[in-house]
Amino acid sequence: MKESILYRKLKDNKVQCLTCNHYCQIKPKQRGICGVRENQKGKLMALNYPYLISEEIDPIEKKPFYHFMPGTFSLSIATAGCNFKCPWCQNWSISQLTKIRENKNQWLKISFKKTPKQIISDAKKFRTPSISYTYTEPTIFLEFALETMKLARKENIKNNWVSNGYFSEQTFKLIKNCLDAINIDLKFMENDKYLKYSGAKLNPILENIKKVYQAKIHLELTTLIIPGLNDSKNSLKKMAQFIKKELNPSVPWHLSRFFPAYKMEDKEITPKKTLYKAYAIAKKAGLENVYLGNI
């Protein structure tokens, strides 16, 4: 474990985590929403450093990035944990593992130690021109990610995040000079749905998307189209208008097909016609780079 780099001390040995937009206030011996940051005697410790849950080599398009280093492979890494609770999560077995009350440290048993230097060595060994911080939420393993990103930058290896976009302003300031590309999930345009299904607020995500674009970091967006939740014409039109007006019509938007998983195994697979409808709405709004995924 390692002391968190973003937190402040409060009264009575409480601490406030400053890593993501939850800004959890954590009592001694308690953990934040992500399940990997624990208050130990008034110090906030990142329990997931340096324990990876996954390390793979993927096509960059799998992230998905279609306009960033296409045709290349990326070394992909993750630790267990997430600051969201999405009931449809495809990677729930690693993202939600840190929240199992029966055994808070079960995730450590299937994790493995690796140093940032070793990650750089792996990237060079397998000749991957980029490292992707993905599978779970990179914000929750900020300490490991940031160290790796700084080393990668020195070796001319690109850094890519696949994120839910809920990182804090403090986190963004730390990573933006080392971040080359990011794909952010835009799940809804309704705050109440974000709160209900992900446990987060909409506005910080929209603001972060705009900050990334304004910082001239390569940006792509992904929306998992889930029947009955975000597939209405009005919802899709709102997303398309946000991309066009607040960003740029050229920002790539990936519309992905939902398959039953985790706590939504009883929900139907997204009909292909729904994806075609979403595509048509996006193109009619004037978006230039729209892609259908999982079909």
pLDDT at 179: 98
Would you place residue 105 in the very low, low, confident or very high pLDDT band (cuts 50, 70, 90)? confident
Whether the per-residue pLDDT at 69 is higher than 60: the answer is yes
Would you place residue 100 in the very low, low, confident or very high pLDDT band (cuts 50, 70, 90)? confident
Would you place residue 123 in the very low, low, confident or very high pLDDT band (cuts 50, 70, 90)? very high
How does the average pLDDT of the chain come out, rounded? 96
Q: Which helix (H) or strand (E) holds 144?
A: helix 142-154
> What mean pLDDT comes out for the span 212-227?
98
| Beta carbons within 10 angstroms of residue 106's beta carbon | 13
| Tokens 């835009």 -> residue | 186
Question: Whole-prediction pTM value?
Answer: 0.96
What the chain holds in terms of domains, given with CATH numbers, is 2-46 (no CATH), 51-224 (3.20.20.70)
Whether the per-residue pLDDT at 103 is higher than 90: the answer is no
pLDDT at 11: 95
Cβ–Cβ under 8 Å, residues 243 and 249: yes
Burial of 192 (0-12, 13-18, 19+ CB in 10 A): exposed
Whether the per-residue pLDDT at 101 is higher than 80: the answer is no
